[in-house]
Each structure stands twice: as C-alpha cells, then as structure tokens.
Amino acid sequence: MRPFHESPFQSLTVPITRASTIVFDSLDDFVNRSTRQPDGFTYGVTGTPTTRALEREIASLENGAHCVVYPSGQAALTAPALALLRRGDHFLVSDGAYGPFRDFCVRWLAQLGIEVGFYPANCRGTFRDYVRPNTRLIHIEAPASLTMEMPDIAAIIQAARAGGIRTMMDNTWASTVAYRPLEHGIDLSIEAASKLLGGHSDLLMGSVSTNDFELHKKLRDVQNAVGLSVSPDEAALVLRGLHTLDLRYKAQAKSTLVIAEWLDDHPMVENVHYPAMRSHQDFDLWQRDFTSAGCVLSFSTKHSNLSQYKDFLRN
C-alpha cells in the first residue's frame, strides 16, 4: 500500500491507519528492521502513518525537529526519565511538578537507585545551589501545577548548560501557544495533549519533542521497550484539535483573566494564583517569557472551614 500522501484519494485530512504487524519486502528487510528506527515503520507500537503525521505536526508547533507521542501526558513525562537516568544519577525536579509525576519520581525512580531532589517551584537566583556533580537531568514546570509559581527558566537553562545537564519541561499550561521550550534551549518539551492540544476532553495523550536526534532515538526506544503505543484514532482526534488550538487558547485565556479578576475581588478569596495577573508575585517572569496568558488558575479561600468552603462553591 502506498502512504496516504501518494494515494490517488487526496483527502484534506490524515487517514486513520490501524495496524499491528506490517509486511516487509524481503527477509533481509525484516531482519534489518531496526535500521528503520526512529521514524520508519516496523510494528504498530512505534507508530503508523497517522501517529507519524501527528508527531510531525506537534514538532512543527514546538519549532522542533522530532516528536514522539505517548498514550498520556504522564507517560510522556516518565519517558525522558527512563531514557536518560541510570543508577547513581541525580534528577532535579521542580517542587511544583504535576502530582502523579512527582509520585513516580519518589516511589519508582528512587527504588531504581536514582537520587531525586526538588528545587522550589519559584526558584530564581539560588537555583545553582540545588545542582550536584551527578545531576543528569532537570525537570521544569512553569507555572507549577496547582500552586502556579513561575521559576526563572532562563537561569535554570543557563545552570544546566554550564554543567552539561539535560533539561525537560512540562509545557502543558503554555501548550506551544504561549511558550515554546525548544526555542529557549530546553532539550525536551513535553505536552499533556489530553488537555489543550486535544482540546475536547475525549482522549489521553502526551508528546515529547526535541531538536536532538540522539535523544529522539532514545525516546522512540523507550516507546518500543515499554510498549507505549498510541491509538491512530486518538491521534486523528488530536490532529483535528490542533486546527483550533490557537483560537481556543486565546479565547480561554481572555475568559480566565476575567474570572481571575472576579475571584480577586471576592470577599471569601484570599489569594488568586495566576501568573498572568499583575498582582501575582511572579508576574515579571511570566511577562518576560510567555506570549499569552493561559487558562488554568487556582485560588485559596480565607477560611479553611469546610462548610464555608462548600458555601463558596454553592454560590
């Protein structure tokens, strides 16, 4: 079968190609199938033309050369850790990391003999204090999950480069619209495509993009070794979602700013955590690095009394 773009049926959309085993031209071709990696086709687990089309699309949004999609954002966060860290390495993680990933670091990586350390989610000048001689990989998330602090990303990148340390960033909040990590020198940009890239709450997916071909090969290898396959049907849904990503993102950011200001004036609200709001303590870093507001915020109430909290949600 010819690939879809050479097909006489010139659809505007990417066709859904479902496959596990594929046919090889010769025994030699089959025996040497690993030479087709990282982006050729060998077996459904490492992708079909549909997932490959999505990977190309996400890589281009990230302004990167390569991308691997995984079955969830969480899987996409764990893949770089599995690809790059070995016993005795130190992994430096943002204290504001997405909860399940933090859990993975503490409960799983630590058991594999990898040292896991945390730096404050709003770390600025003191970042170097957290780097050790065996630090191999640094995780960044901006803003932090739930608490929404911004770290000084540029300072982290500078420290990482000085020490020859790889960097990965969970870029789900900015979703390539407000920030593109690879353009700033981060090695791996991770998106929970379940959120803004997919855009309709009907699928789970994650992506890891990079400009480094050696890293890309390792990430494809992890996908193969752990069996982290992505359904072509879901890849087609994300391809559809991407058409409206920019429009959705900007409309949602506008609404979120209105909601943030409304919450800020609310008598029961103590603090609104939204770095795109002028009163946020990390507004300067958000303004320096990001080109748009995002659509996730959090807030704390003045009273921690549960019944008052319930009243607040009812009103």
Ligand X SMILES: *Cc1c(COP(=O)(O)O)cnc(C)c1O
CB 180 within 8 A of CB 220: no
Instruction: Please report how close the Cβ of residue 260 comes to ligand X at its closest, in angstroms.
Output: 18
Residue selected from 74, 94, 211, 231 as contacting ligand X according to rule CB under 6 A = 74
**Which is closer to ligand X, CB of 17 or CB of 145?**
145
**Which is closer to ligand X, CB of 50 or CB of 72?**
72
Distances (CA, A) of 32 to 29, 41, 47, 233: 5, 12, 18, 29
Q: By C-alpha distance, which of 90, 93, 134 is closest to 112?
A: 90
Phi, psi of 202 (to 5 degrees): -125, 20
CB 184 within 8 A of CB 236: no
Instruction: Please report how close the Cβ of residue 10 comes to ligand X at its closest, in angstroms.
Output: 33
Q: Is 210 helix (H, G, I), strand (E, B) or coil?
A: strand
**Which is closer to ligand X, CB of 131 or CB of 297?**
297
78 binds ligand X (CB under 6 A): no
**Which is closer to ligand X, CB of 145 or CB of 209?**
145
Instruction: Please report how close the Cβ of residue 22 comes to ligand X at its closest, in angstroms.
Output: 27
98 binds ligand X (CB under 6 A): yes
206 binds ligand X (CB under 6 A): yes
* Cβ contacts of 150 within 8 Å, gap of 6 or more: 122, 142, 143, 144, 275, 282, 285, 286, 289
Instruction: Please report how close the Cβ of residue 229 comes to ligand X at its closest, in angstroms.
Output: 15
**Cβ atoms within 10 Å of 175's Cβ, excluding its own:** 24
Q: Which two tokens stand for residue 163?
A: 């020490």
Instruction: Please report how close the Cβ of residue 144 comes to ligand X at its closest, in angstroms.
Output: 9
Give the C-alpha separation, 175 to 282, whole Å: 19
Instruction: Please report how close the Cβ of residue 83 comes to ligand X at its closest, in angstroms.
Output: 17
Residue selected from 48, 94, 135, 172 as contacting ligand X according to rule CB under 6 A = 172
Nearest residue to ligand X, by Cβ distance, number only? 73
Binding mask 24-63 for ligand X (x = CB under 6 A): ----------------------------------------
Phi, psi of 45 (to 5 degrees): -60, -35
**Which is closer to ligand X, CB of 3 or CB of 99?**
99
Q: Which two tokens stand for residue 119?
A: 């730096």
DSSP 56-120: HHHHHHTT-SEEEEESSHHHHHHHHHHHH--TT-EEEEETT--HHHHHHIIIIIGGGT-EEEEE-
**Which is closer to ligand X, CB of 22 or CB of 296?**
296
Residue selected from 72, 207, 209, 223 as contacting ligand X according to rule CB under 6 A = 72
**Where on the chain is the footprint of ligand X (CB under 6 A)?**
72-74, 98, 145, 170, 172, 192, 194-195, 204, 206
